[in-house]
């Protein structure tokens, strides 16, 4: 039975209190391939009440009980792996290879990582005669985005379960189908009634109801900086904890001792992954001015080699962007780059040649970008790279940090010690030196308007824990 038009509340699939539906659009075809129900504050009330009831018992479960639950979730997730990947391919327009090998895979990675973390995590320690203990935060409201949907669901839900929290999840209404599959996984794995609840809906309705709900103890949100600020304001009256993972405009610093061509080419590949729809994408590339010519020729060649088209094809690297709204925003910013005098190296406004339907954007590279240009300051969230040239290391540090964001930064260098020293000067929550392997136990999160708190691994678990001191615990 399809659960597309239902919510998952208190261990059962239920109909919305007030029936309303929303089409789910496949961005590759611009046509609806499914419908979901969208909820209201009344549906949120039911879900929160279920989570509140369940918290009494679930928060008192043992580490071993929660480990057993997470291992069952892991087993069912792997059984439903293809369903997760296919849902993301359709709703996001993610190329099939990306959907399987990155989008669905990182969900499996987070589940496995939190199991490892929970096996060894120390919830209690003595400080003299005082017990310092970490306990479940409470009922958590989770609001997740569309761009890496399963990544954000698993890196919130699974650490919260490991901590002993209960939760209400509102996924993005634009890409909601993988969340339905995930709720089915949770049900089959035997998550206790009320521990995990799913309510679909709009941010202005369901998201707002979650943010201000008096019986929710914590909000964990991933999305735009604008929405994060609104959520913080809505949560303030009830003084709940608010954890935010927001936007970015990440610098990619290529030092003069790096392999310039290799570094520029890999930077292009990174920006174009997921059609540029990643909050930590390295969208500002800084190149020493003396290497301008090689940077331009390499960037043009690499961007024009990016295969764009039908996400069902295994030969495609880049699919469409998520929606007409995003498409139009990106087109506006590309035109702004042209109008403000940046050099258009390749790409530009409009769809790629031969693609007349679908929200496809041309892989676009600008050079001679200056810091005050919109394309250097605003998060475009599309396949658009800005190249800025610099003359000294002092200058590039200043330029890299000249942003309201601080999610990630990237360094390319042939001198590891030099890169290490530079990493300490960058105001970002993550710094990546020379394209390292992904570390799911590294803290993920940002400085400044990129948010607060951290996700992934042990850092993600700690976000869902309160600290209690029991003074006089030992005589």
Known catalytic residues are 245
160: CB partners within 8 A, 6+ apart: 137, 140, 142, 166, 167, 220, 464
Place of tokens 């989008």: 103
Question: Six-digit token pair at 306?
Answer: 């990016």
Q: Is 58 left (phi over 0), alpha (psi -120 to 50) or beta?
A: alpha
Residue 440 burial (CB count, 10 A): 17
Q: Helices (H) and strands (E) in the chain — how many of each?
A: 16, 20
User: What Cα–Cα distance (Å) separates residue 117 from each residue in 50, 112, 159, 441, 443?
Assistant: 28, 9, 9, 9, 13
Collapsed DSSP state (helix, strand, coil) of residue 405? coil
Q: Strands 241-245 and 451-452: what pairing?
A: antiparallel
Say if residues 232 and 244 touch (Cβ distance below 8 Å).
Answer: yes
User: What Cα–Cα distance (Å) separates residue 398 from each residue in 159, 288, 402, 422?
Assistant: 36, 14, 6, 12
Question: Six-digit token pair at 357?
Answer: 């339907």
Whose CA is closest to 50, among 208, 216, 197, 217? 197
């Amino acid at each position: 039975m399809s659960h597309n038009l239902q919510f998952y509340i208190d261990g059962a699939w239920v109909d919305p209190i007030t029936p309303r539906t929303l089409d789910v659009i496949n961005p590759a075809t611009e046509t609806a391939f499914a419908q979901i129900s969208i909820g209201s504050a009344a549906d949120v009330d039911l879900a929160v009440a279920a989570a509140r009831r369940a918290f009494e018992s679930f928060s008192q479960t043992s580490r071993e009980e929660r480990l057993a639950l997470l291992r069952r979730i892991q087993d069912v997730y792997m059984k439903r792996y293809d369903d997760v990947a296919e849902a993301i391919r359709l709703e996001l327009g993610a190329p099939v290879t990306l959907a399987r090998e990155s989008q669905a895979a990182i969900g499996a990675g987070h589940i496995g990582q939190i199991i490892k973390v929970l096996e060894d995590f120390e919830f209690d320690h003595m400080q003299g005669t005082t017990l310092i203990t970490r306990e479940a935060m409470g009922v958590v409201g989770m609001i997740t985005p569309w761009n890496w949907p399963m990544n954000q669901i698993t890196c919130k839900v699974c650490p919260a379960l490991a901590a002993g929290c209960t939760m209400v999840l509102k996924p993005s209404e634009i890409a909601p189908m993988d969340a339905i599959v995930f709720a089915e996984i949770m049900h089959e794995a035997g998550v206790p009634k009320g521990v995990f609840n799913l309510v679909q809906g709009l941010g202005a309705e369901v998201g707002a109801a979650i943010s201000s709900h008096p019986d929710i103890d914590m909000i964990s949100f991933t999305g735009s900086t604008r929405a994060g600020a609104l959520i913080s304001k809505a949560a303030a009256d009830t003084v709940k904890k608010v954890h935010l993972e927001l936007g970015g405009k990440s610098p990619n610093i290529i030092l003069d001792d790096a392999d310039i061509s290799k570094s520029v080419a890999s930077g292009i590949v990174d920006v174009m992954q997921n059609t540029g729809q990643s909050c930590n994408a390295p969208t500002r590339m800084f190149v020493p001015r003396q290497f301008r010519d090689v940077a331009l020729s390499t960037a043009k060649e690499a961007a024009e080699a990016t295969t764009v088209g039908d996400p069902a094809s295994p030969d495609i690297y880049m699919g469409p962007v998520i929606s007409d709204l995003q498409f139009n925003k990106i087109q506006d910013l590309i035109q702004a780059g042209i109008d403000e005098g940046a050099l258009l190296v390749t790409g530009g406004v409009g769809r790629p040649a031969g693609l007349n339907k679908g929200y496809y954007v041309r892989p676009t590279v600008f050079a001679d970008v200056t810091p005050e240009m919109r394309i250097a300051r605003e998060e475009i969230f599309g396949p658009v790279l800005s190249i800025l040239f610099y003359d000294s290391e002092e200058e590039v540090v200043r330029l890299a940090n000249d942003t309201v964001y601080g999610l990630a930064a990237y360094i390319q260098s042939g001198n590891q010690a030099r890169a290490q020293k530079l990493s300490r000067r960058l105001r970002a929550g993550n710094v990546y030196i020379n394209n390292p392997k992904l570390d799911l136990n590294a803290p993920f999160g940002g400085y400044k308007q990129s948010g607060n708190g951290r996700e992934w691994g042990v850092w993600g678990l700690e976000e869902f824990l309160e600290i209690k001191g029991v003074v006089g615990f030992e005589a």
